Structure 1
Amino acid sequence: MTDLEYNYKGISTYSKTKGINNLVLAHQTEIEEVNNIPCFFWGSLTDPYVTAKCWTTIAKVVRSSFGPIPPSLRDPIVSAGSERLRFEGFSSCNGVYVRLDMKPEAIDGEFIANGTTNVDFNDPMLNALNAIQKNEKVTLAVGQQDVQVITSKAKVTEKKVTLPMRWIKGLTSVQLYLADMDIKFELNKIQTIQLFQSLPKGSVKGDFFITKRAGKFMFSTLATADSVRIGGVQRLRLLEGILAIVDKIFIYESSDKQTCAIVAEFGKMQLLMAFSPDSYRGFSGEGNVLETMTENLPIEWVYGLNSLLKSNETFDPTMLSIENDIDFGTMDNLTSNLSSMGLLGYDLSEKTHFYRRLPFKTERILSLNPRLKNAKKLLANEDIEIVERRADYIEAKVKGSGVVHKVIIDNNSQRCTCDWFTAYQGKRGICKHILGVKMMVS
């Protein structure tokens, strides 16, 4: 599985004309149809100072790494549509996900086209963003303002950028975690600053928990009934650049209490940062998407839903099921197929999915989910034998490499004798043997 390499036809530029700052973001994507769109949005920023601080925070995230993978320059992606812009990306280690949701009030201009693309965040542009002062006027273009004709004789400034496959894998996992999260705490500006003042210094090991005592929020090494676990607490320092301008923050936690997210509220926009369970675990390595991919669906259904979503960037699976008379379970499976290619995201505040127009290739369902590919191979080779099956209990034998694994699925649990399950106990998704059994009986 290789990364996708793009060549920008131009570079992002930042210039000043008659007292107005002009920011043009160069874009590039694998979809030629989208790549030929000269401009997605053209207009002005209603709060350039806050926007610039959020963009520099995104740049800080995508250039950071907290695991064994060294930091590298990865340009974020932007989705334009539904009267808003969303900028998002991952740290190089894939353990931190960041997204800026710019609401309609944050921008004043025209959406010329809808789509998702990579944007060039180069050093000169970032340096200029850092210099933006309050009350400055800034115009923004995602793409080029004017259509450019490029010939073989024209001088083209190209910059190669890679869209990591880990990012696409991460996009599949993180939205499932976000959809599973509930709000735990709401902190005003003063409480937020006080909390981050107690952030442990340096690189610390072990779990920390955000807890509330006597009306004050703090970090603690002790878990309580209402505390929120933070794995790799030093990663929270990525938020330090926006603490002085934030209105409030919301802290969310997944139902398994392993993953958390912080949403910084600025009124006209929100910055979300989600953190994987630990510094050494990236979102791309999680297998939570597999649970809802046990049913084999006609690929035409996936294409049909994808076509429907192209013109509707916000997406409610429940309403879509009702309006199109689609079984809820089937809709979950369809949604998971699109999610497995990174095509759906999740808005925590509005509790809705949104669509990304990333490269739509059905073969990526298997290439990005090797356990699903291996489970299908077990079925094709007839390596699964159902030993016992009742309404609330399934026992099966599954051939492995020189060994036969035992799989048991009942109402309350599912387990396997393989090394994967023994090591992770389901915390990183189900193993290929359990998945294969589920696919066989579904």
Structure 2
Amino acid sequence: MNDLQYKYQGISTLSKAKGINSLVMAHQTEIEEVNNIPCFFWGSLTDPYVTAKCWSIIAKVVRSSFGPIPPSLRDPIVSAGAERLRFEGFSSCNGVYVRLDMKPESIDGEFIANGTTNVDFNDPMLNALNAIQKNEKVTLAVGHQEVQVITPKTKVVEKKVTLPMRWIKGLTSVQLYLADMEMQFELTKIQTIQLFQSLPKGNVKGEFYITKRAGKFMFSTLQTPDSARIGGIHRLRLLEGVLAIVDKIYVYESSDKETCAIVCEFGKMQLLMAFSPDAYRGFSGEGKALENMSENVPVEWVYGLNSLLKSNETFDPTMLSIENDIDFGTMKNLTASLSSMGLLGYDVAERTHFYRRLPFKTERILSLNPRLKNAKKLIDNEDIEIVVRKSNYIEAKVKGSGVVHKVIIDHNSQRCTCDWFTAYQGKRGICKHILGVKMMVS
């Protein structure tokens, strides 16, 4: 899948006049009507120093890579709506996800429109952000206004930016991991600083764990029943720029103890950073998502909800079912489809999903799962034969390339004789053969 080349009609700028820093973030999307919106938000930051530090961390993440893919500039996406701003992005390797949740009390202004778009995080703007001091005043515009407080004196530059498909595929996966997490530890500022002082130097290999001994948190190579695993521990250095100003941090861990997330609390905003199981492995966007895509949901329903819901709005499937007279079972399948397409995010602190309008056309999002396409192809070609079908047991034969695979779905376990399942044992999602059988019998 090729990445998209976007063109910013202008560049993000930060200027200072009469003691007030004015920041305009240029935006660009694939959706024409959204791209024509002059401005999503216009107002001021109530804590610009902390906000600037968090934006710098986001920029650091999206310009980093911990795998074979070289680091490159990736401008983050921002969701505006429901009195909140959310900035999101991935490292180039897709192994680190970062999100800044700016609560209503962190901004003072007007939401002119709701939606999600890419914003230009260029070097001059980031350098200016790093120079912002405490108690300075900063106004913010996400997008350009026709009547601007800022009028750039320099020539407007049209900038191209590559928006990777991997990000969208990552968004379909990472929120499934987040929804599966429970809080493991809560650390004060002092405990946080002490913990990071014990962070090993260099690109350390092997598994490390956050553990608590005698009231003190530390990194250890020994796993204990209540420890939290950190894959690719050197990636934690991405957080070093905000440790001095954080109020506290929360450590979350998935039920399979493979993935973790750290939430930095600043009072008016939260910075979340989630880490894939290992540095060489990213949030692929297909693995976990495929478990929830066995039900075929009419695309018209997806379009309908997309027009009904606003960016950052809390997604409550029960209330949506009642208010719109949708069957609960249908809503469950629809929710799974929305999650699998990256249209739902997850807030680990509030333990709720929120709706995310992506800067992509819906048909493009629907095309990002080749394993799903291949599973449908197996069904269309009649390559699946159900041998045994009972209430809690299914056995099937699936034609492959010169071989017939055996698929068994027994209660909550599932297995296949194909090379994919043998290699990964379900850790990177179900294979197309299991998926095809599940879709056929659902």
For normalisation by structure 2, the TM-score amounts to 0.96
| Map of 1:384 onto structure 2 | 384
Segments of 5+ residues of structure 2 without an aligned counterpart are 149-154
Partner of 1:151: none
* Residue matched to 1:421: 421
Q: Which amino acid aligns with 1:229?
A: R
For 2:303, the equivalent position in structure 1 comes to 303
Paired residue for 2:171?
171
Q: 1:321 to 1:180 in 2, by over 3 A?
A: farther
Quick one: distance in 2 between partners of 1:55 and 1:38?
A: 22
SS at match of 1:346: strand
Deviation at 1:143, TM superposition (A): 1.1
Q: State how far apart, in whole Å, the 2-side matches of 1:131 and 1:319 are.
A: 46
In 2: Cα distance, 1:49 partner to 1:240 partner: 16
SS, match of residue 241 in structure 1: helix
Match of 1:114 in 2: 114
Aligned to 2:65: 65
The secondary structure found in structure 2 opposite 1:39 is coil
Corresponding residue of 1:351 = 351
Is residue 201 from structure 1 mapped to residue 201 from structure 2 by the alignment?
Answer: yes
Provide the alpha-carbon RMSD of the alignment: 1.6
- SS of the counterpart of 1:354? strand
Counterpart of 1:431 in structure 2 is 431
1:88-127 deviation per Cα after TM superposition (whole angstroms, max 9, x unaligned) = 1000000000000111111111111111111111111100
Say whether 1:25 aligns with 2:25: yes
Equivalent residue letter for 1:281 = R
Task: For 2:397, give the aligned amino acid.
Answer: K
Is 349-358 or 408-417 further displaced after alignment?
Answer: 349-358
Deviation, 1:156, is 4.7
The verdict on how the C-alpha distance between 1:215 and 1:47 changes in structure 2, with shifts beyond 3 A counting, is: same
Per mean C-alpha deviation after superposition, the further-off stretch among 362-371 and 43-52 is: 362-371
Deviations 1:59-90 (A, max 9, x none): 00000000000000000111110111111100
SS in 1 for 2:291: helix
Identity of aligned residues (%): 88
Higher mean C-alpha displacement, 66-75 vs 388-397:
388-397
User: Equivalent residue for 2:242?
Assistant: 242
The reply to whether residue 143 of structure 1 matches residue 157 of structure 2 is no
Post-superposition shift, 1:7?
0.5
Q: Which amino acid aligns with 2:91?
A: S
CA shift in 2, pair 1:362/1:58, >3 Å: closer
Question: What is the 5 A alignment of 1:309-328?
Answer: 309-310=309-310, 313-328=313-328
Partner Cα distance (1:255, 1:102) in 2? 27
Shift of 1:146: 2.3
| 1:324-370, Cα deviation, whole Å (9 max, x unpaired) | 34344432321232233322211111122222222454443553111
Question: Contact conserved, 1:341 with 1:364, CA < 8 A, in 2?
Answer: no
2:151 matched residue in structure 1? none
Find the counterpart in structure 2 of residue 330 from structure 1: 330
Structure 2 CA distance for partners of 1:101 and 1:220, relative to 1, 3 Å: same
Q: Which whole-Å deviations, capped at 9, do the CAs of 1:12-32 have from their partners, x for residues lacking one?
A: 111111111111111111111
Aligned to 1:12: 12
Give the unaligned 5+ runs of structure 1: 149-154
Aligned equivalent of 2:152: none
1:48-59 to 2 correspondences below 5 Å:
48-59=48-59
CA distance in 2, matches of 1:184, 1:27: 37
State the aligned residue count.
Answer: 437
CA 1:360–1:338 in 2, change beyond 3 Å: closer, same or farther? farther
Q: How does 1:53-132 map to 2 (within 5 A)?
A: 53-132=53-132
